[in-house]
């Protein structure tokens, strides 16, 4: 069971390394302007883009944090491996509180499709209730909690009076072919170089590897 932890992390990174997505962030700023998403989508060899919001929501209490991601409505174009049914895609498109949840999270909290789940901010002021419309089985999404970014942005504006609708935590870009990835990365960063919000674009596998770098010694400790 212990050895399965680093093995699982390695498997996710390996799967991501064969993927067609790159992650665009702003090293010199907290957020990226939303219009970057549309500008990148028009670039050659780009299939789809989504502006994402990362949120560390709490389920029930602060001992159960869930890293959730708010995305645009085009989930199937950017994340085709979710294998959502047409009716589930339609729900995600038209139901603002819809959420697609990884099967491991579903099992952990005994959630089921159709359940309504409430996540809260650390200060407990912001509380959003989602309806689970799909279970995600792909290895990379088994611990994911994906929802509509607009729903979160509306909640922040209503709760705190802050408008964040024109900003994103990062932008995920799906590329046409694996051989096009280096060219797309260069084009994106070149497009916004010397701008107020310069970009740093890396592959999805590098992004995941950076995310687990804080526990880089985990494998050694476990072995």
**Segment-wise mean pLDDT, segments of 10 residues, the chain, 223 residues:** 65 58 88 95 95 92 83 90 91 94 93 96 92 89 91 96 94 93 96 94 78 58 71
Within 30-138, residue ranges assigned H as helices are: 35-41, 75-78, 86-94, 103-108
Buried b / exposed e over 83-119, threshold 16 CB at 10 Å, is ebeeebbebbeeeeebbbbbbbbbeeeebeeeeebeb
Q: What is the pTM of this model?
A: 0.84
CA distance 169 to 175: 20
Q: How far is CA 11 from CA 21, 106, 138, 168, 174, in A?
A: 17, 20, 12, 28, 20
Contact 39, 47 (CB under 8 A): no
Contact 13, 209 (CB under 8 A): yes
Query: What pLDDT does 211 receive?
Result: 56
CB-hemisphere CA count at 13 Å for 144? Answer: 22
Contact 198, 192 (CB under 8 A): yes
Query: What pLDDT does 17 receive?
Result: 47
């Amino acid at each position: 069971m212990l050895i399965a932890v680093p093995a699982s992390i390695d498997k996710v990174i390996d799967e991501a390394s064969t993927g067609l997505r790159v992650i665009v962030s702003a090293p010199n700023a907290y957020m990226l302007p939303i219009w970057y998403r549309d500008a990148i989508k028009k670039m050659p060899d780009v299939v789809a883009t989504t502006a994402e919001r990362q949120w560390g929501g709490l389920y029930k209490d602060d001992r159960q944090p869930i890293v959730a991601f708010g995305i645009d409505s085009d989930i199937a174009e950017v994340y085709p491996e979710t294998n959502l049914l047409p009716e589930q895609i339609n729900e995600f498109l038209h139901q603002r509180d819809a959420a697609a949840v990884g099967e491991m999270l579903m099992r952990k909290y005994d959630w089921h499709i159709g359940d309504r789940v409430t996540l809260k901010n650390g200060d407990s002021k912001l509380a959003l209730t989602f309806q689970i419309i799909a279970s995600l089985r792909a290895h990379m999404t088994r611990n994911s909690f994906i929802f509509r970014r607009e729903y979160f942005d509306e909640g922040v504006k209503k709760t705190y009076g802050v408008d964040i609708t024109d900003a994103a935590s990062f932008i995920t870009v799906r590329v046409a072919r694996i051989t096009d990835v280096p060219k797309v990365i260069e084009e994106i960063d070149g497009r916004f170089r010397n701008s107020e919000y310069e970009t740093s674009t890396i592959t999805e596998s590098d992004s995941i590897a950076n995310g687990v770098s804080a526990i880089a010694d985990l494998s050694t400790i476990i072995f």
